[in-house]
Amino acid sequence: MKKTKNILVESLAGKPIFEHKIEIVERKGVGHPDSICDAVMEEISVALSREYLSRFGRVLHHNTDKGLLVAGEVAHRFGGGSVIEPMRLVIGDRATFELNGELVPVDRIAVNTAKKWIGDNLRFVDPNKDIEFDVELKPGSPELADILIRETAVPLANDTSAAVGYAPLSPTEKMVLDIEHYLNSTGFKEQFPASGEDIKVMGYRTGVDLKLIIAMPLIDRFVDGVDSYFKQKKEILECVKEFVLGMRHKNLENIYIDLNSLDDSSRGMDGIYLTVTGTSAEDADSGEVGRGNRANGVIALNRPMGAEAASGKNPVSHVGKIYSILTRRIANEVYNAVSGIQEIYVWLCSEIGKPIDEPNIASAQVILEPGVSIDKVAPLVREVMDLELANILTFTSDLAEGKYRVW
């Protein structure tokens, strides 16, 4: 096994997150405009990677991480409104269109992939009518494209970049993540077909008290008036409360939930959260890659976070993506394998042109259980980190196949 020399392990002073007095965590659901951009651009990267592998036996240079969803215009109406102006999805950055005289239909792959994801995940968005596609992918720079066709044992980093991942998720983080997954689950949508996909969950914990603020539109075709709206909202809220009670954590004692806090029954249709399509991108909010959830699925304001947008970046040499996911994986592997650790933060920093399995720095910061010595756990932490870096080609292959969720 190849040894990576520059692995540093240190004990981190302080308390784990769940012992902090204040914690704030957010999750943008599958129908949020930012999440749509992240998800679609990532699916396009996976589709291009598969196409390149099929044609050339390797993933070629591409980055589809510059996506912008431009809001459209709709007319809300009880019983069912209509789309007046479609949304517009700009698919941007770089891709390889040709190698050795063989052309790759990049634009067609991008649009077809985007349409499929939208059709599979947004029940009331017709990808052929409600959204337009503007493909702005261009050939990449020769120097960066060349990195992926060099005959090297391990791909070279195409950027100087850093990332951080941590484990475990705190009770608050897990609660926020699980609630959004539940509200956008197939079973929930079957029970409450009026519930839209554009769900945002904000969790604010003070000590053992957690306040959950949920925003979720109702689909206007299932609502025949203001009273109908508030009746369905009440039923949904009660169901959410039951779900939360069933997953109570020992570190959380009092949980308070608000749904669509801006609602005002006295204002008629102007005072309720209705959509035609289930996403605010229909007329209220545009979206962009990198503005949504971090690679572990949440936006945790108490945690260190990198600035990279992982979605859409190529999975073979773009360390901004690779390390964003790998640090999270390593942190979880260490946490599960090494006893005595309450919390771990893993940091990786690359240097452009260097092999991706040889970061400039690989560091772990651990908060230990009382009485546990850093000298005892450090060798075990290094061993896990070294093994994960040694197996990076398997990891990037899985990443190219879309086996890791990145938003």
The residues pairing with 103 across neighbouring beta strands, listed in sequence order, are 98
The radius of gyration of the chain's CA atoms, rounded to the nearest angstrom, is: 23
Q: Report in angstroms the alpha-carbon separations of 29 from 40, 140, 407.
A: 14, 32, 10
Is-cis flag, bond preceding 168, omega within 30? yes
DSSP letter for each residue of 274-336: EESSSSGGGTT--EETTSS--TTSSEETTS-------TTB-TTT-HHHHHHHHHHHHHHHHHH
Q: Is residue 29 within 8 Å of 198, Cβ to Cβ? A: yes
The 3-state DSSP class for residue 8 equals strand
Cut 0.85: pTM above it: yes
Using CB atoms within 10 Å of the CB of residue 322, give its burial: 0 to 12 exposed, 13 to 18 middle, 19+ buried.
buried
| Mean pLDDT in consecutive groups of 10 residues from the start of the chain, 407 residues | 71 93 97 98 98 95 95 97 98 94 97 98 98 94 59 87 96 96 97 98 96 98 97 97 85 92 93 97 95 95 91 94 97 97 97 93 96 96 96 96 93
Residue 153 pLDDT: 83
For residue 267, which phi and psi values (nearest 5 degrees)? -105, 10
What is the token pair recorded at 181? 């997954």
The 3-state DSSP class for residue 180 equals helix
Distance CA 206, CA 224 (A): 39
Tell me whether strands 162-167 and 341-349 are parallel, antiparallel or unpaired. Answer: antiparallel
Residue 143 pLDDT: 53
Reported as a single tens digit per residue, the pLDDT across 50-85 is 999 999 999 999 999 999 999 999 999 999 999 999
Distance CA 166, CA 296 (A): 9
Other CB atoms closer than 10 Å to residue 363's CB: what's the count?
18
Tell me whether strands 102-103 and 200-206 are parallel, antiparallel or unpaired. Answer: unpaired
Task: Tally the C-alpha atoms within 13 A of residue 186's C-alpha that lie toward its C-beta.
Answer: 1
Alpha carbon of residue 27 to chain centroid? 9
Residue 1 pLDDT: 41
Q: Domains for the chain: give ranges and CATH numbers.
A: 18-28+170-278 (3.30.300.340)
What is the token pair recorded at 391? 């197996």
Distance CA 287, CA 37 (A): 6
